[in-house]
């Protein structure tokens, strides 16, 4: 997910090169707040296909629509807000597809992408509206810090 945020950040001219991991994603999130709600719940198109029993998110439409918005002069803030809306919708839709196959209606949100508070808030809201029980990090970081802790715990059991 991080590379998708990096790609969109570069595509719309926010950050082409980074000085630290997550910088482009952080700046993409921050500019979304400048939209001040103009984007509403609008998002970009994407599709999910099934291939050999695996659901795959196809991003061609999303990237094409972002480029079209750039050509139309849509602000970076609005593009970023619409992108965040889209990713939240994607996550919710994928969780719903998995729930249909497995009967599991509990989602654990983890990984560095969920340091993005805007995205986290949108995803939690969408999942809860779809009757999911949502688990998020409280005491352990959702990014590499949590991985390090897990590795330490496993090592101590050896």
pLDDT digits 0-9 by tens, 5-17: 999 999 999 999 9
Domains of the chain: 2-157 (3.30.420.40)
How do residues 89-142 score in pLDDT, each as one tens digit?
999 999 999 999 999 999 999 888 999 999 999 999 999 999 999 999 888 877
pTM summary value:
0.91
Cβ partners under 8 Å of residue 82, min gap 6: 39, 42, 43, 44, 69
């Amino acid at each position: 997910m991080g590379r998708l945020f990096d790609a969109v950040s570069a595509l719309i001219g926010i950050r082409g090169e980074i000085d630290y991991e997550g910088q482009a994603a952080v700046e993409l999130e921050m500019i979304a707040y400048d939209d001040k709600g103009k984007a509403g719940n609008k998002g970009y198109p994407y599709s999910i296909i099934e291939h050999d029993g695996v659901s795959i998110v196809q991003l061609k439409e999303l990237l094409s629509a972002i480029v079209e918005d750039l050509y139309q002069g849509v602000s970076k803030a609005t593009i970023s807000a619409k992108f965040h809306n889209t990713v939240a919708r994607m996550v919710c839709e994928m969780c719903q597809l998995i729930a249909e196959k497995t009967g599991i209606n509990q989602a654990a949100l983890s990984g560095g992408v969920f340091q993005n508070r805007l995205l986290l808030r949108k995803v939690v809201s969408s999942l809860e509206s779809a009757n999911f029980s949502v688990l998020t990090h409280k005491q352990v970081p959702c990014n590499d810090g949590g991985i390090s802790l897990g590795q330490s715990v496993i090592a101590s059991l050896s």
